Amino acid sequence: MLTKSKPPQYYAAKWYDSGKVVFVHGILNKGKDEEMSKQEMEVHSALELKENLPAGRITREMPMREIFLMAVKSFGVPVSCHPDAPPALLYNGRWDGKMVHCDLQRDEYYQVSGDFNPREGCCQDVWIFSFKLYQNWFVNG
């Protein structure tokens, strides 16, 4: 799944015979106007998943957008990017140019992903991956 952000972001999933799934997020950083085989991709995160996630089951046949949403629902925490906007697991809306707010512990590890457009003061598909939620599921699930 490619987003329309600049630079374009991508999400992908690969299934292995063992039942493991690798979920990858990154950006396209070179060759954006060339054919796909000549583009350079920079990976920002790679997660080992199983078909049964906290938010439900993912399958090879699902569109990538649905797999992405299941990952967000399983390992995301509510986020807001504007003081007047309510938090959401997947935030789309106004951006004040600096604020990304979520309720995490001071020592908790997380990753912010999404498209931020400073020229238009908005953002889309912003979510915060909580390593703690993922680790609890991975170890105990």
Q: What are the tens digits of pLDDT across the range 9-23?
A: 888 999 998 888 999
The radius of gyration of the chain from alpha carbons, rounded to an integer in Å, stands at: 16
The residue whose two tokens read 């949403």 is 69
- Its pTM stands at 0.86
d(CA 93, CA 125): 9
Rounded CA separation 22/76 (Å): 17
Per-residue pLDDT at 130 exceeds 70? yes
Measured distance CA(109)–CA(115) in Å, rounded: 20
Taking only the tens place, the pLDDT of each residue in 14-59 is 999 888 899 998 888 765 455 555 567 788 889 999 999 999 999 9
pLDDT at 108: 86
Mean pLDDT of 104-109: 84
Distance CA 4, CA 56 (A): 27
Classify residue 12 as exposed, middle or buried by CB count within 10 Å of its CB (0-12, 13-18, 19+).
middle
| Maximum Cα–Cα distance across the chain | 47
